[in-house]
Structure 1
Amino acid sequence: MVTESADSPPTRGAAPNDVRDFALDSVDRVLIEQLQRDARTPNNALASLAGIAPSTALGRVRSLIDRGIIRGFHAAIDPAALGRNLEAMISVRLQAHARKHEAFTERMVGLDEVLDIYFIAGADDYLLHVAVASAHRLRDFVIEHLGADPEVAGTETTLIFEHLRRGPD
């Protein structure tokens, strides 16, 4: 674990459960809220919305990234546009002896079908959001990557009829 002074921000790439200084002022909140609405907002527009200079806005956004508050920027792609018309959530329960979840996570991250991985509390250990071309490909995914995995105790698959994201206010 990295030791940091009270005056220095946590280092980039710190573990998600590290204790961090997440103190946000009103300017940080304006920047974050706008970037959540549109991550492609130009810096000068961010500065104008927050009532600060563009150089200050750039520094503030960099600080939010460095402190791990902004985790990244991405494009949300419709899986159907890539020929993956069927989405599902798969609950995965690992064997009791396989509770070191890092190996399972690493295997799942490398699979094209897996969109998101959630390490969860409760009866199951993981929730996988997957997108595939057909029900046949979904069955194959479950059999090949989960059913054949000796660390997996069980799965439950739920089809997604529609996926909506929270949009701009």
Structure 2
Amino acid sequence: MRDIDEIDRKIIAAVQNDGRITTHELAARVGLSPSPCARRVRTLEDSGIIKGYTAIIDQSKVGLPISAFASIKLERQREADLDRFAHAVARWPEVADCYLMTGQRDYLLRIVVRDLEAYERFLKDKLTRLDGVASIETSFALGQVKRSEVLPLR
């Protein structure tokens, strides 16, 4: 992990808010000329601090209005079991987010689907067929209050 300075923080803040910002606009915003600014961005990308750029899509407007949060408990928490679960989940496009958790449950998944029938199919065809799953508890989001990819850098 490389140290980031104040200029790096300004660059990160700017690209978090507008991934399509031009190098010239970014340079002006952070107080550098374009060439050094582009080098810093490239260094942030090469070091993995900036992992990529993406568009934020309104899931409802593309026909995927349902967010289901599934808490998963595995039968065992051995490394091989955790790895098997993580590799399976990584292949499923319905899983938008997956976190390894502390506490009563092992994983928390956010599953995005078009309707309850699609969630039921996902549950029956994929999640319940995975070896080592002891229990699944699902909650459905009624609405989204906040979602952000912007990190609170200080």
Q: TM-score under structure 1 normalisation?
A: 0.80
Percent identity for Structure 1 against Structure 2: 31
Post-superposition shift, 1:97? 5.8
Residue 66 of structure 2 corresponds to 86
Structure 2 residue identity aligned to 1:117: C
Q: Comparing 121-130 with 50-59, which one deviates more in the overlay?
A: 121-130
Give the letter for the 1:45 counterpart: E
Aligned pair count reads 149
Q: Secondary structure at the match of 1:96?
A: coil
Of structures 1 and 2, the one with the larger relative CO (CA 8 A, separation 6+) is 2
Cα distance in structure 2, aligned partners of 1:43 and 1:151: 49
Find the counterpart in structure 2 of residue 11 from structure 1.
none
Change (3 A) 1:98 1:146: farther
Q: Normalising to structure 2: TM-score of the pair?
A: 0.87
* Distance apart, 1:98 and its partner CA: 5.1
Structure 1 stretches of 4+ moved >3 Å: none
Other-structure match for 1:165: 147
Q: CA RMSD in A?
A: 2.0
- 1:68 pairs, out of 24, 37, 48, with 48
When residues 145 and 99 of structure 1 are mapped into structure 2, their CA distance, relative to the original with a 3 A threshold, is farther
Decide whether the 8 Å contact of 1:92 with 1:124 is kept in 2: yes
- How many angstroms apart in 1 are the aligned matches of 2:54 and 2:132? 32
Is the contact between residue 98 and residue 151 of structure 1 (CA under 8 Å) also seen in structure 2? no
Deviation at 1:166, TM superposition (A): 3.6
Partners of 2:39 and 2:113 in 1: how far apart? 41
For the pair 1:31 / 2:11, whether they are aligned, the reply is yes
